[in-house]
C-alpha cells in the first residue's frame, strides 16, 4: 500500500485526477469506479477542468458506481445514479451510455446485486476505483465486521448513517432509505488500482487503523493492505495519527516520476 500525504484536499484531488488522466492516455476506454459524497468532489472538479482544457481526453471513458440506495424511484435526485450523472458523467462530457450501476429499484434486489457483479466482470473489470472512508473505517457501505471476501450485496444502513445522510433529504430521516446495494470488499479488491482519498482530522484514526493497523474486518478499509496496487492519499489533517508519516513523505519524495501513482 502506498501512502501519499498532500497539503490539502485540492492537492489530493489534482494528484488523483492526474493519475486518472494518465490512465486514460494509456487506456482511453478505462472503466472508472466512482464514489459519492463530498470527499471525491475535488477529484471530479480537477478532472473536468483537465477535460475542458484539452489536457485529458475522457471521451471513451466508462463510469461505474460503488453503491446505490435501495427503493428510491428511478430518477430520484438523491439516488447515487443521479448524483454520479450530475457530478461526474455530465461534467466530463459523457453520455449516460458510458455509465453503469446496480439497479436499486429492482424488485429482486439480490438478483440485481449478482447482475452488477457479473456486469463489472463482463466489462473487463474496474481499472481504477475511487474510495472514501468512514470514521469507522468503512469503504462503500461495508460497515465494520463485513466479510473481507464479500461480493456486491444489500446492506442495512446504520441509524447514524441515516442521520448523517438526512441532510440530502431535507433533513428528514424518514426519507432516507434503510438499505443500499454496495460493492463488497472482495469486489472492490478486484479493481486493478483502488485509490482511497481521506481528508480532515475526523478521518485520522480511521486512516491510521487502515494503513498501520492489522488487516481486520472491524476496519474494512484495512483490506486494501492485501491489494498489490492500492494507494491512500491523505491531507495533513487526516495523516496526523500516522506513526510512519515521515517515512511515507520520504518514500514518495524519492519515487521515480515515471511510476506515477
The answer to whether 114 is a known catalytic residue is no
β partners of residue 3 = 232
User: What 8-state DSSP symbol labels residue 139?
Assistant: B
Selected catalytic residue, list 76, 87, 103, 138: 138
For the question of residue 57 being annotated catalytic, the response is no
Helices marked H in the chain: 9-26, 41-53, 80-84, 109-122, 159-165, 185-188, 204-212, 245-253
Judge whether 91 and 82 are in contact, CB under 8 Å. no
Distance (Å, rounded) from C-alpha 27 to C-alpha 194?
16
User: Catalytic one among 127, 143, 193, 235?
Assistant: 143
**What are residue 34's DSSP bridge partners?**
65
User: Strand 31-34's sheet: what is its strand order?
Assistant: 2-6, 231-235, 194-198, 128-131, 31-34, 62-65, 99-100
State yes or no: is 67 an active-site residue: yes
Give catalytic status of residue 122 as yes or no: no
What residues act catalytically? 67, 136, 138, 143
Amino acid at each position: 500500500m502506498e501512502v501519499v500525504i498532500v497539503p490539502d484536499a485540492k492537492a489530493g484531488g489534482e494528484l488523483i485526477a492526474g493519475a486518472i488522466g494518465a490512465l486514460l492516455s494509456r487506456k482511453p476506454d478505462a472503466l472508472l469506479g466512482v464514489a459519492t459524497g463530498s470527499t471525491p468532489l475535488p477529484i471530479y472538479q480537477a478532472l473536468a477542468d483537465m477535460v475542458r482544457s484539452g489536457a485529458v481526453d475522457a471521451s471513451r471513458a466508462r463510469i461505474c458506481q460503488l453503491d446505490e440506495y435501495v427503493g428510491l424511484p428511478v430518477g430520484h435526485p438523491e439516488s447515487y445514479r443521479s448524483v454520479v450523472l450530475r457530478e461526474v458523467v455530465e461534467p466530463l462530457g459523457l453520455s449516460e451510455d458510458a455509465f453503469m450501476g446496480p439497479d436499486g429499484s429492482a424488485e429482486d434486489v439480490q438478483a440485481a446485486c449478482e447482475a452488477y457483479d457479473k456486469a463489472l466482470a463482463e466489462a473487463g473489470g474496474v481499472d481504477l476505483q475511487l474510495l472514501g472512508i468512514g470514521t469507522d473505517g468503512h469503504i462503500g457501505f461495508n460497515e465494520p465486521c463485513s466479510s473481507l471476501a464479500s461480493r456486491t450485496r444489500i446492506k442495512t444502513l446504520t441509524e447514524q448513517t441515516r442521520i448523517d445522510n438526512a441532510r440530502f433529504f431535507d433533513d428528514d430521516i424518514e426519507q432516507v432509505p434503510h438499505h443500499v446495494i454496495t460493492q463488497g470488499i472482495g469486489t472492490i479488491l478486484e479493481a486493478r488500482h483502488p485509490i482511497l482519498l481521506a481528508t480532515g482530522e475526523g478521518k485520522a484514526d480511521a486512516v491510521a487503523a487502515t494503513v498501520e493497523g492489522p488487516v481486520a474486518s472491524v476496519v474494512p478499509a484495512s483490506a486494501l493492505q492485501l491489494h498489490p496496487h492500492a494507494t491512500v492519499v491523505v491531507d495533513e489533517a487526516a495523516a496526523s495519527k500516522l506513526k510512519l508519516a515521515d517515512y511515507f513523505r520520504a518514500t514518495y519524495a524519492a519515487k521515480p516520476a515515471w511510476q506515477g501513482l
